[in-house]
Structure formats: structure tokens, C-alpha cells
Amino acid sequence: MAVEQRRARKSTRLAASASPRSRRLVVALAAVLVSLVLGGCDNGRSRVVKPPRAERVTEPEAPPAPEPLDPVARVALTWTGCDISKKAYMVDAANAYRDATGIEISITGGGATRGIRATAGGSSDIGGTCRQCLPTRFPAKEGGIVLTHVAWDALVFFTHADNNVRSITREEAKNILLGKITNWSELGGDDARILLVFRRQTVRGNVSGVGYMTRRMLFGEPEIDYTRDAIFYRSSGPIEKFVEKTPYSFAVTGVSSARKRNVRILELDGVPPTASAIAAGRYALFRPLYLATRGEPQGAAKDFIDWLLGDAGQDVMRAAGTVSLDEGRELGALFAYWPSTADGCVVWNR
């Protein structure tokens, strides 16, 4: 420390005897030397400058693991099919099944053909249909389907509620559909044109549930064409709504849904399509209602079908006004239009 101070004093004396410019330079150098000496000393001891203490970095705590999800409480099933089955029993059955099991069934209408093909294609678990499947005619679209017979329905002819015609014969029904009878006065009614309404006459329209079964049961010709002088819709639901609000209209549908509309359902050959007349076979145009599955029913679809075939499900049928299997137990032997082996359509519980 003493040596360094003597050097600093000597530098100062030299600066005093030097030229002004040299003195300024010497003074500056001396100032730097003194600052270095004093900055590195503290009361005669060397001062060690330590680097700043690093802050302790605390890792954030990992978020807690999510709670495991509860098991699925409801298993969704999908049903696609004819509007007649939908309105006749399926909505009521789905509600009752949900209440009994907690299982939801999503329901989509659109027609029997849509129901069969959606099921065959795998986009629906169950199809609702009022006609048999046609795998020999449409192997790519309807192959592999198995039908389960769940109830009985009947084809009925109906008109606006205010129409004063009460009854027609099967022959008159044929002639209306073919365009040979065009005025209600020919049936004992008002002098007014018959507004005929049915499904579009396309390959798909002719094989609709109502279209196919009417052609087969009334005409014995599944591919016969009706008159073109008509109003056309894509499915039975819109047809029923049209007749409900349109005077002098005429159409054919299933009794299970027609009886839930404000329409006049016509007697056929003098026989009203009551549940008792259908169950006894007195009303001529009775037919089965089916559920379609891809292969024999399995899993959740089988559980629902088993429930529907049991007491609880058949009680829903009866409460909805649809003829149950038990009520129509004599009809199986009377029905002349079951699928044959040649049709390639299987009804496993026939």
C-alpha cells in the first residue's frame, strides 16, 4: 500500500514540473492509478468482489392430473326408417326404453327404403321398415339385412276430414290410383276433382314401404305405375300432412300413423280398419312392421329389440294403438306376402 502511494505522489510532482499539456496527461494517468488502488483496497486488505448470488429458480408445480372420466351413463343407438313406424310406435318406444334403461335412441325418419339401406351401409344401428328387404334386386344396398317382426299395421286410404265419402272398394281404390276415377262424385261424394298424392314414381319411390306393399297387395304387381296426374312427395309424413290440410285429397298410408292425424280414414269393402278388425284379419290390407339389422341382432341393438318384443315393449305398441304381436297372433298364418327364400330376405322371428 505504501509503495503504491509513493508512486502516486511522484507522478503528481512530475506533473507539476511538466508542460501544461504534459501535466494534464500525467494528472489524468495519476487519477486513474489512484482510483484503481483505492477501488481494490479496503482498510489495507484486498477486497474480493464476488459475483452476485444466483437466485434460486423454483420449478412450477405440475398441474394435478385430471380426474378419470365417469363411465358413460348412456349408450346411444341410432334408428332410421319409415315415417309410419316412427309415428306409430317408435317415438313412444324410445321414450319408454330411455326411462327404463337410461339408453337414448336417436330417431330419423325418411322412409322404409332409407331405413333398410342406412342399416345395411352401417350408418344406422337399426332400421324401421314396413316392407321386406329386397337383396336379390338391390344386393349392394340391401344385402345382409335381417328383419325382426315387431308389430302389425294395415294399409289404409284416407282423405280430408271434411270429405263426405266414407267407404270405397278395393276395385275403386285401384282405379283411383290408375287415374280411371278422377272425381269424388263417382264415389258418391261432391262434384270435385280427386287430388291424388303419393310418393314420387322412381325406382326408389316404387319400392317405398307404402308404394311397394300397395302395389304387391292391391295389384299383385310390385312394379306397376300409377297415374302421373298426381302430387308427389318424398315420404309418408309429408303426404299425411298434405291430406290433413287439403280438401278433396286422397292418399294411402299406414293406419298406425294415419289414426294420429286429423283425417278421414276410409272403410275398405265396408270394413273399418280398427285394431280389432285388423287383428282378426277382417280388414284385408294388414301387413307386418319390421326392425332391420345388419345380420342377426347383436349388442345394444339386440337389447332394445328383445325389450320391444317383451311385455314392456308390446305394451307400448298397444298403448300407441298399434296391433301387437300377441293381438295379431293369428295373422301370421293369414298373411300371404311373407318374403320367400327366392327373395333372399330373412325374417328371423317369423
**Would strands 263-265 and 145-160 be described as parallel, antiparallel, or unpaired?**
antiparallel
Decide which of 199 and 162 is more confident.
162
pLDDT category at 31 given cuts 50, 70, 90 is very low
CB atoms within 10 A of CB 292: 28
> What is the per-residue pLDDT for 347?
93
Residue type at 291? L
Q: How many CA atoms lie within 13 A of 23 on its CB side?
A: 8
In this structure, of 21-25, 120-124, 237-241, 299-303, the range with the lowest mean pLDDT score is 21-25
Q: For the chain, first and last CA: distance in Å?
A: 119
Residue 174 predicted with pLDDT over 80:
yes
Q: Which pLDDT band holds residue 203 (cuts at 50, 70, 90)? A: low
Q: Give the homologous superfamily in CATH for domain 77-347.
A: Periplasmic binding protein-like II (3.40.190.10)
Residue 48 has pLDDT above 60, yes or no: no
**Which cell numbers hold the place of 198?**
303419393
Residue 39 has pLDDT above 50, yes or no: no
Nearest CA-CA partner of 252 in 118, 93, 150, 130: 130
% of the chain exceeding 70 in pLDDT: 77
Q: What is the mean pLDDT of the chain?
A: 84
pLDDT category at 211 given cuts 50, 70, 90 is very high
Partners of 151 in the β-ladder: 289
Residue 165 has pLDDT above 90, yes or no: yes
Nearest in space to 337 (alpha carbons), one of 277, 272, 290: 290
Q: Is 321 exposed, middle or buried (0-12, 13-18, 19+ CB in 10 A)?
A: middle
Mind listing the pLDDT tens digit for each residue in 300-350?
A: 999 999 999 999 999 999 999 999 999 999 999 999 999 987 888 999 887
pLDDT of residue 29: 40
- The pLDDT tens digits of the residues spanning 261-286 come to 999 999 999 999 999 999 999 999 99
Asked whether the predicted pLDDT for residue 4 surpasses 70, the reply is no
Mean pLDDT to the nearest integer, 199-203: 71
Q: Is the pLDDT of residue 162 over 80?
A: yes
What is the rounded distance in angstroms from the CA atom of residue 119 to the CA atom of residue 111? 12
Q: What is the mean pLDDT of residues 174-192?
A: 98
CB burial class (10 A; 0-12, 13-18, 19+) of residue 242?
middle
pLDDT at 25 > cutoff 90? no
Instruction: Check the CA dihedral 213-217-221-226 and report its sign.
Output: negative
